[in-house]
């Protein structure tokens, strides 16, 4: 099958693209390669996929992978309507997986317009392109952040997600509502996936675990919010990818038992579904740091700070629907996941040091 993966140079997008190619599918990957975090890591991911840097940086140019015959990459923005229309005119996609977004809870306090442009306007262009093309299944990334002030744990897709505490969360919830309206109006199958605190190799440098690792290895202090007394459902990236792949292959159908007099937020009379993908085992932040220290082989100097605006105390995924419909749920422990991340992280630091000493640019 031919898949469009938006955000293909991003953390989850890179891993998903690699998984789809390894199983024999074809992928058109797009990404704006913005500088929200160091674009160098995005180029490293693309290099591992066989996309030459000199070709990936040209806007609108379709670069072909030298490693995977089934992969082409195009630098573009979702909110560029003309570029989206041209992309869908050039390719007949069997599946569209929208992972491109302006990420980050705290950054949304500083630059709110970026979230509306990418997460709202950009997602609208995705919906419109899929509608016009009759795309058989649109899968898109949502977030555990949508649960906001809902303190009922574990977070269930059957519960409420109407009180977001950051603009980032609000835009992700808006995406879910927009997708439902398109499913209802046009019969377009859409599936939203609420990811819970994803971590792993080639991850995002703006995420806490990555910042911790950098600071620990450099001998700097780390900022620990709320004294480390926060619970997060840390989910290893391979588990996220397994869940996405299983969902991709099964477009939703209308739920014949859905009752408008007692509406269930998790299903619909339209071909629309939402699922949590989380480890279903929340860990205290303090313990997560201890496991990271052990896997890195170094201790952290901690600077304790109060809870930050936009943060919530705890996240915990109810994955019963995922298990019921797909016979699977995440299984990777933080001990396993952080060991793999740390091995990659230390290897990357070593490669960067060697490249710097030789006067070379870093490589993947």
User: How do residues 219-235 score in pLDDT, each as one tens digit?
Assistant: 999 999 988 889 999 99
What digits encode the pLDDT tens for the residues 109-145?
Answer: 888 999 999 999 999 999 999 999 999 999 999 999 9
**Banded pLDDT at 18 (limits 50, 70, 90):** very high
SS3 labels along 136-179: CCEEEEEEHHHHCCCCCCCECCCCCCCCCCCHHHHHHHHHHHHH
Catalytic residue among 14, 168, 182, 275: 168
Q: What is the pLDDT of residue 364?
A: 45
What's the CA gap between 234 and 144, in Å, rounded? 11
**Banded pLDDT at 360 (limits 50, 70, 90):** low
Q: What is the pLDDT of residue 108?
A: 85
Q: What is the pLDDT of residue 107?
A: 82
Instruction: Using the predicted structure, report yes or no on whether residue 213 has a pLDDT greater than 90.
Output: yes
- Could you tell me which of 177, 43, 170, 54 has the C-alpha nearest to residue 101? 170
Mean pLDDT of the residues in the chain: 94
User: Is 168 a catalytic site residue?
Assistant: yes
- Could you tell me which of 195, 197, 160 has the C-alpha nearest to residue 322? 195
Q: Per the structure block, which two tokens stand in for 336?
A: 């396993």
What's the CA gap between 246 and 272, in Å, rounded? 16
Task: Determine the length of the chain.
Answer: 364
Mean pLDDT, range 295-303, rounded to an integer: 94
Mean pLDDT, range 248-274, rounded to an integer: 96
The topology under which CATH files domain 2-199+237-279+316-331 is Rossmann fold (3.40.50)
Instruction: Using the predicted structure, report yes or no on whether residue 363 has a pLDDT greater than 60.
Output: no
What digits encode the pLDDT tens for the residues 50-61?
Answer: 999 999 999 989
Give the domain ranges of the chain.
Answer: 2-199+237-279+316-331
């Amino acid at each position: 099958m031919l898949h469009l993966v938006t955000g293909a140079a991003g953390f989850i997008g890179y891993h998903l693209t690699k998984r789809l190619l390894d199983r024999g599918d074809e992928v058109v990957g797009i990404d704006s390669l913005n500088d929200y975090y160091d674009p160098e890591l995005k180029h490293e991911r693309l290099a591992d996929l066989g996309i030459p840097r000199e070709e990936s940086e040209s806007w609108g140019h379709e670069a072909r992978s030298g490693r995977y015959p089934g992969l082409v990459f195009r630098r573009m923005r979702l909110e560029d309507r003309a570029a989206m229309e041209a992309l869908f005119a050039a390719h007949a996609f069997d599946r569209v997986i929208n992972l491109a977004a302006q990420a980050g809870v705290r950054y949304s306090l500083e630059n709110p317009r970026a979230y509306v442009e990418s997460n709202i306007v950009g997602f609208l262009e995705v919906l419109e392109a899929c509608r016009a093309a009759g795309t058989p299944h649109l899968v898109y990334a949502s977030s555990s952040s949508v649960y906001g002030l809902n303190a009922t744990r574990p977070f269930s897709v059957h519960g409420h997600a109407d009180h977001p505490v950051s603009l980032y969360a609000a835009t992700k919830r808006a995406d879910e509502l927009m997708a439902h309206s398109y499913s209802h109006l046009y019969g377009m199958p859409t599936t939203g996936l609420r990811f819970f605190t994803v971590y792993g190799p080639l991850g995002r440098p703006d995420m806490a675990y990555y910042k911790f690792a950098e600071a620990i290895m450099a001998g700097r202090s780390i900022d620990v919010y709320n004294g480390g007394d926060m619970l997060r459902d840390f989910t290893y990236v391979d588990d996220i990818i397994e869940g996405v792949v299983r969902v991709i292959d099964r477009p939703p159908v209308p739920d014949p038992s859905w009752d408008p007099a007692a509406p269930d937020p998790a299903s619909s009379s339209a071909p629309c579904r939402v699922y949590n993908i989380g480890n279903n085992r929340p860990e205290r932040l303090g313990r997560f740091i201890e496991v990271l220290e052990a896997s890195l082989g170094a201790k952290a100097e901690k600077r304790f700070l109060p809870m930050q605006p936009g943060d919530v105390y705890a996240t915990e995924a109810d994955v019963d629907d995922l298990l019921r419909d797909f016979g699977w749920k995440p299984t990777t422990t933080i001990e396993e996941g952080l060991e793999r991340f740390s091995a990659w992280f230390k290897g990357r630091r070593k490669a960067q040091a060697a490249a710097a000493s030789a006067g070379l640019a870093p490589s993947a």
